[in-house]
Amino acid sequence: MTSPIIDASGIVKDYGAVRALHGVSLQIGTGEFVALVGPSGCGKTTLLKILAGFEDPTGGRLEIQGRDMHGVPAASRPTRMVFQKLALFPHKTVAENIGFSLKLQKVEKAEAERRIRAMLDLMHLKPDYLERYPAQLSGGEQQRVALARALVSQPGVLLLDEPMSALDAKLKKSLQAELKKLHRELGTSFVLVTHDLEEAMMLADRICVMRSGHVVQVGTPTDIYYRPANMFVAGFIGETNFLPVTATASGEGMDVVSPLVAAGKTTIAPEHVSPSLSTNGTALLVRPETIRFVRGDAAPGEWLLDGQVEEHFIKGASTQYRIRIHGLDAAVIMDLPGSIVLPAIVGEAVRIGFDPAQAFLLSE
Ligand code: ATP
């Protein structure tokens, strides 16, 4: 990580008897894009508000740009926040909305106008929008104005609380692409709260997964997807298959056997083993895209499972299969590229296989 612009350590937040954050520590690098994800109520928005200065922490320490933020009001921090629900001033024009913070800072008029126009340009909004009112803009345009208003004062950190959740799917995609480009061009640190895990994977340099007021894992999208700390993180991002196994430490990693795989014994390399592995409910995480139908010979080392096709779902670019395996609680999910020719039909007896060396060993 580059030098941290945000250094939060042991942040606790109580709302009366409710402890929303239980000592959260997180560092965010200068120019980094971090996404905060986790189930509803896990404390994402609370953490964002503490960074912004809209809430005071009950305990812990927050530094931004090396400065202790205790008692520093929101307006004096190098942070700006964009909310899910649009907080544009309805009776101010687009120009007045964008220029609001510049007016407070008493930026000279010609300079303010120049910066407002530059923002409009950056957000791909037409110059004649300047005199419009928010109600005369589409939802996506309003959200761009909200971004422009937050960015015009050139904050070190942009805090985004689900800014795209109210937009339709197509608009969301285009604004996501713009947000990523904007982030690259500006060099500002972005912290995004989102429910949309695909969005977090697409946009963020690192993802912070939270649960019940704790940080469970912070890592790159690849880390979070392929090397999740535990079953909670694995199940939170993407579709999962957990194959029950017993694991014993061996010289080179972990020796793993599965009661479901007749000839199954393999050694899992240390980089495919969760550092927080416990003896509780050890399982092999097998992602759906790593499983194939086996018609002829198995590949060397491949683990095989016999079952029956329970259902398939055409997703366009891919087809998802659910395979019922005898002795396994949940159906195994497979994702195969393409959907023009379907390789198996519902009810068909099938053999599926995967390379256990590509799987990941974790626990509850
Ligand atoms: P969501 O994804 O649903 O927006 P979140 O992860 O952002 O959830 P927070 O809004 O940070 O979660 O809430 C964390 C916890 O703190 C929840 O249990 C919530 O009920 C509680 N909480 C949040 N704000 C307040 C408040 N002002 N007063 C009392 N409790 C609050």
Ligand 1 pocket member 40 (CB < 6 A): yes
Predicted local distance difference test score (pLDDT) of residue 91: 94
Q: Report residue 195's pLDDT band, with 50, 70 and 90 as the boundaries.
A: confident
Ligand 1 pocket member 18 (CB < 6 A): yes
Q: Report residue 160's pLDDT band, with 50, 70 and 90 as the boundaries.
A: very high
Ligand 1 pocket member 209 (CB < 6 A): no
Average pLDDT over residues 93-109: 90
Ligand 1 pocket member 44 (CB < 6 A): yes
Average pLDDT over residues 167-192: 87
Predicted local distance difference test score (pLDDT) of residue 340: 84
For residue 330, pLDDT over 70 is answered with yes
Nearest CA, atom 18, ligand 1: 41
With helix as H, strand as E and coil as C, how does the chain read?
CCCEEEEEEEEEEEECCEEEEEEEEEEEECCCEEEEECCCCCCHHHHHHHHHCCCCCCEEEEEECCEECCCCCHHHCCEEEECCCCCCCCCCCHHHHHCHHHHHCCCCHHHHHHHHHHHHHHCCCCHHHCCCCHHHCCHHHHHHHHHHHHHCCCCCEEEEECCCCCCCHHHHHHHHHHHHHHHHHHCCEEEEECCCHHHHHHHCCEEEEEECCEEEEEECHHHHHHCCCCHHHHHHCCCCCEEECEEEEECCEEEEECCCCCCCEEEECHHHECCCCCCCCCEEECCHHHCEECCCCCCCCCEEEEEEEEEEEECCCEEEEEEEECCCCCCEEEEEECCCCCCCCCCCEEEEEECHHHCEEECC
Predicted local distance difference test score (pLDDT) of residue 237: 82
The region of weakest confidence among 19-33, 234-248, 300-314 is 234-248
Note the pLDDT tens digit of each residue in 3-23.
799 999 999 999 999 999 999
Nearest CA, atom 2, ligand 1: 40
Note the pLDDT tens digit of each residue in 259-290.
888 777 899 999 999 988 988 889 999 999 99
Predicted local distance difference test score (pLDDT) of residue 78: 94
Predicted local distance difference test score (pLDDT) of residue 86: 66
- Domains located in the chain, CATH noted: 4-231 (3.40.50.300), 242-362 (2.40.50.140)
For residue 96, pLDDT over 70 is answered with yes
Predicted local distance difference test score (pLDDT) of residue 270: 92
Average pLDDT over residues 94-100: 93
Q: Report residue 1's pLDDT band, with 50, 70 and 90 as the boundaries.
A: low
Q: Rounded to the nearest whole angstrom, what is the distance from the C-alpha of residue 43 to the centroid of ligand 1?
A: 6
Q: Rounded to the nearest whole angstrom, what is the distance from the C-alpha of residue 208 to the centroid of ligand 1?
A: 17
Average pLDDT over residues 39-51: 96
Q: Rounded to the nearest whole angstrom, what is the distance from the C-alpha of residue 161 to the centroid of ligand 1?
A: 13
Ligand 1 pocket member 230 (CB < 6 A): no
Q: Rounded to the nearest whole angstrom, what is the distance from the C-alpha of residue 13 to the centroid of ligand 1?
A: 10
Q: Report residue 143's pLDDT band, with 50, 70 and 90 as the boundaries.
A: confident
Predicted local distance difference test score (pLDDT) of residue 123: 83
Q: Report residue 238's pLDDT band, with 50, 70 and 90 as the boundaries.
A: confident
> Do the interacting molecules here have an ipTM over 0.85?
yes
For residue 51, pLDDT over 80 is answered with yes
Ligand 1 pocket member 20 (CB < 6 A): yes
Predicted model pTM = 0.89
Predicted local distance difference test score (pLDDT) of residue 211: 95
For residue 2, pLDDT over 70 is answered with no
Average pLDDT over residues 81-85: 82
